[in-house]
Amino acid sequence: MEKVILPNGLTVIFEKRKGNSVVVNVMIKVGSNSEDNSEKGLSHFMEHILFEGTEKRPTNKDISNEIEKIGGDFNAYTSNEKTCFYVKVLKKHFPIAVEILADILQHSLLQEKDIAKEKKVVLKEIDMIYDEPRYFQWVLLQENLFEKHPCRYPTYGTKKSINSLTRKKIIDFYNKYYLPNNMVISVVGEVTGWKKEIEKKFSFKKGALPASAPVNEPLALRKKIKKRKMNITNTYLVLGFKAVPRNHPDSYTLDVINGILGRGQSGRMFTEIRSKRGLAYDVGTQSIAEKSFGYFAAYATIDKKNISLVQKLILTELDKLKKVTETDLSEAKDFIEGDYLLGLEDAQKASDQILFWDLVKEAKLMDQYIKNIKIVSVAEVKRVAQKYFKNYTMVVLAGK
């Protein structure tokens, strides 16, 4: 892995990888956590509107055809902490990938007609999330689990905030955050001349970045239950605990606990709730550790009449971590190692991991992840479980 910072402040990280493809992934260090009340959903809206046309490629079709006609793939996504745009093509087309990303990120037209159209698209996306309880349950959890941290607000904003967007507000947001010294580009593939190519195409100038202050999220001092009735057949239950960001050593122990409780069909939650009792189809756990926040959650899709029983079973499995064994630990670590390293064989996923770890602190930490998992001890699992699994927030999307 090679990392350089160009004169305009743009960071580029290159990982040479043999194969036919190359992935160019651009991260802008802005997500919904950075937005003030008048900007809710703007990071996500930028992801949409930047694909709608440039001076050189006036329409969305002109942009997409440049990639698709050579068999490539492109997409973008927004999270609480970052916005990413990536292109995956044959390595011989590397200059095209760089040129198109540079074009949309520097020369977008941001036309009124495109803004009006994309507002409709984003509003339908919001409707889709509310219509899909498997997505909405996580929105509801973060909204109720956190009290002060901005991760409690959904990345897509609200219908009101999207409808109130103006071209001026969009341009002001772009000028504030879409600066080379607020971007990192990861290149994964077997290409040469990558530094020169990127420096030539991403030629815009650095600027002053807005200051950001850390948020002190209070500890959970009591249990909280939030129920919402929906016109659906199943009931969706999520039980979550505030945890720690990725740069905290306990985050690795929580990942190991996730490996014990939630891996595939052999995790303890799946075994107890689905395999033994047939109470759920979809059941498992999640360990989330981002740059500035983290949480641990167990979830199950069940019949409404079984809410109390499944809640009790989840809490029982968490309590059983007091008796975790070396065998449990070894199996969880092997699962994490296999899942993580096999995932990195996908160049696009590898590029995402490079950017994630660089946002946390340093891209090279990506190679230390498994080492940090392997040093987790039985005593650490017991300590961490006792420390974090106390006052939970439970959200329930209640079906018929």
Q: What single string gives the DSSP state of each residue in 85-130? A: EEEEEEGGGHHHHHHHHHHHHH-B---HHHHHHHHHHHHHHHHHHH
Task: State whether residue 56 is helix, strand or coil.
Answer: coil
Position 304 scores a pLDDT of 96
List the domains of the chain with CATH numbers. 2-201 (3.30.830.10), 224-398 (3.30.830.10)
Residue-level pLDDT at 85: 98
Best CA proximity match to 378, nearest among 257, 255, 248, 242: 257
Dihedrals phi, psi of 208, to nearest 5 degrees: -80, 130
Residues contacting 20, CB < 8 A, separation 6+: 90, 91
- Look at residue 187 and give its three-state secondary structure: strand
Measured between alpha carbons, how far is 142 from 292 in angstroms, rounded to an integer? 14
Where helices occur in 107-229 by DSSP H, the ranges are: 112-131, 133-145, 159-163, 167-177, 194-201
What gap in Å lies between CA 83 and CA 73, rounded to an integer? 17
Beta bridge partners of 137: none
> Taking the alpha carbons of 204, 205, 206, 208 in that order, is the dihedral positive or negative?
negative
Q: What tens-digit pLDDT sequence spans the chain (400 residues)?
A: 999 999 999 999 999 999 999 999 999 999 999 999 989 999 999 999 999 999 999 999 999 999 999 999 999 999 999 999 999 999 999 999 999 999 999 999 999 999 999 999 999 999 999 999 999 999 999 999 999 999 999 999 999 999 999 999 999 999 999 999 999 999 999 999 999 999 999 999 999 998 888 888 999 999 999 999 999 999 999 999 999 999 999 999 999 999 999 999 999 999 999 999 999 999 999 999 999 999 999 999 999 999 999 999 999 999 999 999 999 999 999 999 999 999 999 999 999 999 999 999 999 999 999 999 999 999 999 999 999 999 999 999 998 7
Give dist(CA 349, CA 305) in Å, integer.
40
pLDDT for 232 equals: 94
Helix (H) / strand (E) element for 336: namely helix 326-343
